[in-house]
């Protein structure tokens, strides 16, 4: 099986659990994901299978969109509802809607965000969540993140529903924590659903229960490697170009059966005449240089 499977992950299992179960029911051993979802979170989890695992690096960097519920009134040690309440922290007066809306302004645009203590970030070779579980110091450096949009959808008592679109590496748990600090009342993430990842939307995804039921027939629902990267420029190679691409050799205009592409920072899809993705290449110096070869 070679391609990308869009899964609608339920709340509860880890992303690793989803991968392990798909390996079991599909028989495909080479499976990876393109961006972890916490166990609490549900929603879109793009998985790469077979030779498409070589494309994971090109599918992880896109913006992500989330539907989040933030609960005002208390911090937790994990910054979400699965953690333990932090004693003597938070619990201050709840803000009115105007104060809440004003506080959100600071979390739009580009700013520095400190990742959660319970995260996979590494400190001196150790994952932060391992150190946190051992009650050892967890001092994480802030990371520059960009929030494209942050909208208040509704409020019901202490529960505030938001939608947020942000760059890769952004933690919605950390957003909840920081909103609680800004308001002085404490807050943590109560629920999270990812609705978009790059060019993919959750409406395209299969519920994981259906994935398990389909077993090997899930192959019918895979996006081809080329389709999964449809936002990238594309060229088609001749027979000679195909042989060169498969060996990682540079491609000149005479090796293409269609148009040339101008140089750019993004990779270019190199297709054979049947429309199958052969390689990803970068244009420079008047040639296309294959970077990842699939066939």
Say if residue 128's pLDDT is above 60.
Answer: no
How many angstroms separate the CA atoms of 55 and 172, rounded?
A: 26
Tell me, rounded to whole angstroms, the distance of Cα 38 from its chain centroid: 11
Q: Which residues of 246-261 are buried (b: 16+ CB within 10 A; e: fewer)?
A: beeeebeeebbeeeeb
* pLDDT of amino acid 141: 82
CB of 131 closer than 8 Å to CB of 148: no
Where is pLDDT greater, at 111 or 138?
Answer: 111
Catalytic (active-site) positions: 38
Q: Over the stretch 182-201, which tens digit does the pLDDT of each residue have?
A: 999 999 999 999 999 999 99
Residue 118 has a pLDDT of 66
- Please give the model's pTM, rounded to 2 decimal places: 0.89
Mean per-residue pLDDT over the chain, rounded: 91
CA-closest candidate to residue 42, choices 94, 7, 93: 7
Helical axes 97-104 vs 172-183, angle rounded to 10°: 130
């Amino acid at each position: 099986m070679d391609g990308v499977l869009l899964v609608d992950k339920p709340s509860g299992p880890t992303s690793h659990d989803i991968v392990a179960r798909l390996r079991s029911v599909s028989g495909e051993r080479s499976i990876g994901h393109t961006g972890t979802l916490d166990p609490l979170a549900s929603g879109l989890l793009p998985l790469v299978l077979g030779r498409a695992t070589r494309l994971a690096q090109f599918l992880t960097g896109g913006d992500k969109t989330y539907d989040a519920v933030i609960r005002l009134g208390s911090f937790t040690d994990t910054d979400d509802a699965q953690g333990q309440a932090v004693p003597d922290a938070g619990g201050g007066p709840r803000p009115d809607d105007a104060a809440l809306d004003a506080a959100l302004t600071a979390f739009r645009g580009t700013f520095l965000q400190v990742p959660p203590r319970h995260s996979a970030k590494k400190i001196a070779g150790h994952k932060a969540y391992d150190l946190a579980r051992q009650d050892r110091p967890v001092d994480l450096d802030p990371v520059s993140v960009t929030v494209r949009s942050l909208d208040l959808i509704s409020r019901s008592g202490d529960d505030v529903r938001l939608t947020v679109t942000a760059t890769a590496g952004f933690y919605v748990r950390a957003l909840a924590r920081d909103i609680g600090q800004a308001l002085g009342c404490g807050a943590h993430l109560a629920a999270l659903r990812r609705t978009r990842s790059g060019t993919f939307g959750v409406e395209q995804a299969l519920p994981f229960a259906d994935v398990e039921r389909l077993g090997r027939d899930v192959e019918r629902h895979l996006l081809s490697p080329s389709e999964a990267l449809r936002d990238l420029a594309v060229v088609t190679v001749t027979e000679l170009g195909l042989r060169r691409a498969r060996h990682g050799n540079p491609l000149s205009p005479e090796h293409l059966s269609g148009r040339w592409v101008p140089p750019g920072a993004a990779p270019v899809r190199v297709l054979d005449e049947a429309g199958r993705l052969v390689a990803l290449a970068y244009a420079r110096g008047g040639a296309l240089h294959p970077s990842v070869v699939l066939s």
